[in-house]
Amino acid sequence: MDNLLERQPDGLYCAAGGFYIDPWNPVERAVITHAHADHLCPSSKRYLCTRAGEALLRARIGSEGLIEAVDYGASVTFDGVRVSLHPAGHIRGSAQIRLEYRGEIWVVSGDYKLDADSTCAPFDPVPCHTFVTESTFGLPIFRWLEPTEALAAINAWWRGNRQAGKASVLFAYPLGKAQRVLAGVDSSIGPIYTHGAVETFNRLYRDAGIALAATQYARSAPPKTDWTGALILAPPMAKTAPWLRRFGDFSTGLASGWMRIRGTRRRRSIDRGFVLSDHADWPALLTAIRSSGARRVWVTHGYRAQLARWLEESGLEAHAIDTQYEGERDDAELPSDEAEP
């Protein structure tokens, strides 16, 4: 079986079609799975993405670069390679990239999850010969509860802090995770404020018709705002910023799949951890791989060697591929405008 993709210094390259998927450096043509920073590189000349993800991609790369956006399932052809994008369920606009060339079909999943999420299209299995999967949480220990349970726990923590006269500062990825929280929390508990990095993407989600709880930009709040009982959503990198001082007495929480590991919350000096991830857990990874029908699997970022070994022992041809994708790193999304002294 020939390789339709190869790992190059600039990323995963399709030589037959002359394009990269989620390149790590600027390239002539990039096919993008989603708009998280580790899966796109600004300054490339041409981009292909989903129509649902176009505004998010443009917000990331700025005004430079030509974007071609297509609907899920629609295909374009590059030098004989038929390319189509299919829902990945990770964040709004996220896609699996299907490549078809001379009867061979590859699917590059990008990041994905199988859990229900009202803020994005659900994961859609795509049959293929070779499946390229992430492995951010590719160990059996990583098993998520129902998302509704995590959101109920956030509500209970927030409500308890309100009763104790505290604000609740919840750290979450500003793109995808924060909007998922806003789509599921009980906004009757109190007002919700946001860090600027979160509010930027909130606007784009709302413009697309995604229902989110009402929010206020924290930096625009009057000087004597009473933060008691408020929920403040911020990126994880804001945890050590002077920006937090304005909120007075507050409790901190972090929404992340890494909260599944005992001791993580304590090491990161967080009061509460909530296991809520936009990546597949161990059972979901195996389900997605089986659903693809692939006999060969490339495993990227995360616990790739461990998952590849498990797949090989299960009878599949599996390869651990070294990439620069980061998966769910709590410090991967940098604050955009709140790092004031």
Domain co-membership, 45 together with 136: yes
Domain co-membership, 137 together with 282: yes
Percent of the chain whose predicted confidence (pLDDT) is above 90: 88
* End residue of a domain, out of 274, 308, 336: 274
Domain co-membership, 46 together with 109: yes
Domain co-membership, 265 together with 192: yes
Domain co-membership, 137 together with 10: yes
CATH assignment of the domain containing 199: 3.40.50.10890
CATH assignment of the domain containing 82: 3.60.15.10
Model pLDDT, residue 329: 67
Model pLDDT, residue 268: 72
Domain co-membership, 108 together with 227: no
Q: What are the strands, taking DSSP E only, across the chain?
A: 6-8, 11-14, 19-21, 29-31, 46-50, 66-70, 75-78, 81-87, 95-101, 104-108, 130-135, 167-171, 192-194, 216-217, 231-234, 250-255, 272-274, 296-302, 317-320
CB 27 within 8 A of CB 10: yes
Domain of 289 in residue numbering reads as 6-141+278-320
- The Cα–Cα gap between 236 and 169 comes to 10
Give domain status of residue 167, yes or no: yes
* End residue of a domain, out of 274, 291, 307: 274
Mean pLDDT, residues 174-203 taken together: 97
How far the first Cα of the chain sits from its last, in Å, is 56
Residues in CB range of 97: below 8 A, 6 or more apart: 21, 31, 33, 83, 84, 85, 107, 108, 110
Mean pLDDT, residues 237-247 taken together: 89
Model pLDDT, residue 240: 85
Give domain status of residue 231, yes or no: yes
Task: State yes or no: pLDDT of 332 exceeds 60.
Answer: no
Give domain status of residue 332, yes or no: no
Mean pLDDT, residues 111-135 taken together: 97
Domain co-membership, 13 together with 124: yes
Domain co-membership, 283 together with 225: no
Q: Which residue shows structure tokens 């022992």?
A: 313
Structural domain count, the chain? 2
Give domain status of residue 333, yes or no: no
Give domain status of residue 327, yes or no: no
Give domain status of residue 31, yes or no: yes
Task: State yes or no: pLDDT of 188 exceeds 80.
Answer: yes
Global pTM reads: 0.93
Domain co-membership, 32 together with 95: yes
Domain co-membership, 103 together with 61: yes
Domain co-membership, 96 together with 187: no
Domain co-membership, 247 together with 151: yes
Model pLDDT, residue 265: 66
* End residue of a domain, out of 220, 250, 274: 274
Give domain status of residue 1, yes or no: no
Task: State yes or no: pLDDT of 339 exceeds 80.
Answer: no
Task: State yes or no: pLDDT of 334 exceeds 80.
Answer: no
- The Cα–Cα gap between 306 and 257 comes to 18
Question: pLDDT averaged over the chain?
Answer: 93
- The Cα–Cα gap between 269 and 252 comes to 9
CB 178 within 8 A of CB 215: no
* Residue 26 one-letter amino acid: P
Give domain status of residue 329, yes or no: no
Mean pLDDT, residues 106-113 taken together: 98
Task: State yes or no: pLDDT of 303 exceeds 50.
Answer: yes
